[in-house]
Structure 1
């Protein structure tokens, strides 16, 4: 439901240039939902959300929209939108925490692999520590997805409210995609490990069947596997490569999430201001 074909008087004239811009951005994000998940596609979705929220921020400055949101009969819907904005901010903070924790663990492990202090036993311990940290991150993300509340449907007569509801819905969808990308299917890592264990050689191309998070998990599980020889430097080199790629992926996602967070705060402030008028 990208475009609104019948708008009430509570929404600006269809001729306003912001309306087709809003519809186009929303349609673009909706069409990208079916795309395969990758760090590049997620970064693109986060960038698209930023543009969409910038457009919404401009729409909320229009007098007719401000009047509609401050109308007492719409107070219930605005309260609901404020609740929705809090849920989105909570999910944003969950994403930030997950990325920050994984980045710190990734940087620490890269440093330990380079130094190799304490020998093989110490390295194995640190690898397990990293994977346990990943399990904690996955658990937090799965809990966040399970506890989220679905946004209720709004009266189609309340066009400006319906527009904001649609924006919250697509934002929630992108967060869910990102959470699944970071946590991955429960069996993804060991599935990749199994394929690698049964092959004669270990190649980056095979590990890269999945995303950067799952690829790093698989490479590290392979490194600590008792079935692999300790002298196999190819496995360790590949693990280092996957960790480096994971760190770059996290950096891109962190920038997108932080930028979106600022926009979510701005929209929430606008809603509060309109509600208090």
Structure 2
């Protein structure tokens, strides 16, 4: 998880109303990191990031901040800020790709289950195809996290620099939460499969209400096991369809938030480039 550093205000917060607004939004996002991981809480964090970056864009319009950023264009912290903004855009693109791939395969599998052409053998092949796509998505997210950006202690004498660094750090932390949510814990899905296979009642329940991705993995793995044993189970099939529908709705919500966040990240980077080029 990204590390945070306490920022001391070098000028009175009453000097401009954006300063306390920035601090309030940042504090709210930090507090949300301790919240339970669910699609609702994750969407709330992404929404909070959008508001925070909107505030940053307004701060970058202030002449005092523009002067502070542009007066030493060759400083090391300039490169760090620009590199950090680029890496966050890359992570945002990775999230977009992961959600898009999963959504497309989710919609395709739902359609196949509804049509039910070709019997259990054909369905098993399609389920395996979906799970393989999930593995590829998880691998891409894992690699992105291994190459994630880190933020050193930048020039603490420049208030706006410190604020931008904190924004990049909290943005990275939210992406970490998102990637972990999409991937799910390695052991969790098989634990859910066991519950599903050992209880007919559990197969109709949302075993892990907090994570739609994990639920789909578990439901499809249990359906796959059932088909392998030549024991067609309409209850497991219905449960898989229900979980896929929930996942599609979850992805739709996250996609909208990530796309909006990408536009804000890009706008902040362009603003930085414009300021530093003068």
Please report the TM-score for the alignment, with normalisation by the length of structure 1.
Answer: 0.94
- Does the aligned pair in 1 maintain the 2:85–2:265 contact within 8 Å? yes
Counterpart-to-counterpart distance in 2, 1:26 and 1:136: 34
Counterpart mapping for 1:198-277 below 5 A: 198-226=198-226, 230-277=231-278
Deviations 1:71-119 (A, max 9, x none): 1266421221000001100000000000000000000000000011111
Q: CA deviation at 1:159?
A: 1.2
Question: What SS class does the counterpart of residue 76 from structure 2 fall into?
Answer: helix
Runs of 4+ in structure 1 off by over 6 angstroms are none
On the 8 A contact 1:207/1:219 being kept in 2, the answer is no
Distance change in 2, residues 1:262/1:179 (3 Å): same
User: Considering only aligned residues, what root-mean-square deviation do their CA atoms show, in Å?
Assistant: 1.8
Which residue of structure 2 lines up, in the alignment, with residue 149 of structure 1? Answer: 149
Q: How does 1:133-212 map to 2 (within 5 A)?
A: 133-212=133-212
Structure 2: distance between partners of 1:36 and 1:211: 11
Q: Residues 75 and 14 (structure 1 numbering): CA distance in 2 closer, same or farther, change over 3 Å?
A: farther
CA contact (8 A) 1:222 1:228 kept: no
What is the deviation of 1:204? 3.6
Deviations 1:31-52 (A, max 9, x none): 0001011000010000000000
Determine the structure 1 residue equivalent to 2:86.
86
Matched, 1:6 2:18: no
Distance across 1 between alignment mates of 2:124 and 2:250? 24
Give the TM-score, by structure 2 length.
0.93
Q: 1:65 to 1:197 in 2, by over 3 A?
A: same
User: Is the contact between residue 223 and residue 236 of structure 2 (CA under 8 Å) also seen in structure 1?
Assistant: yes
3-state secondary structure, aligned to 2:27: helix
**Corresponding residue for residue 39 of structure 1:** 39
CA 1:53–1:2 in 2, change beyond 3 Å: closer, same or farther? farther
Classify 1:109/1:200 alpha carbon distance in 2 versus 1 (closer, same or farther; 3 Å): closer
Question: Distance between the aligned counterparts of 1:66 and 1:13, measured in 2?
Answer: 18
Deviation at 1:134, TM superposition (A): 0.3
Q: Which residue matches 2:68?
A: 68
SS of 1:5's partner is coil
- Report SS of the residue matched to 2:61: coil
Distance in 1, Cα, partners of 2:89 & 2:189: 30
Deviation at 1:191?
Answer: 1.0
User: Gaps spanning 5+ residues in structure 1: where?
Assistant: none
Please identify, of 150-159 and 239-248, the stretch whose mean Cα deviation from structure 2 is larger.
150-159
Instruction: Determine the C-alpha separation between the residues in 1 that align with 2:157 and 2:17.
Output: 22
Q: Aligned-pair distance for 1:2? A: 8.2
CA distance in structure 2 between the partners assigned to 1:179 and 1:45 by the alignment: 13
Q: Which runs of 5+ in 2 are unaligned?
A: none
Q: Is the alpha carbon distance of 1:164 and 1:217 closer, same or farther for their aligned partners in structure 2, counting shifts above 3 Å?
A: same
- The answer to whether the 8 A contact 2:45-2:174 is kept is yes
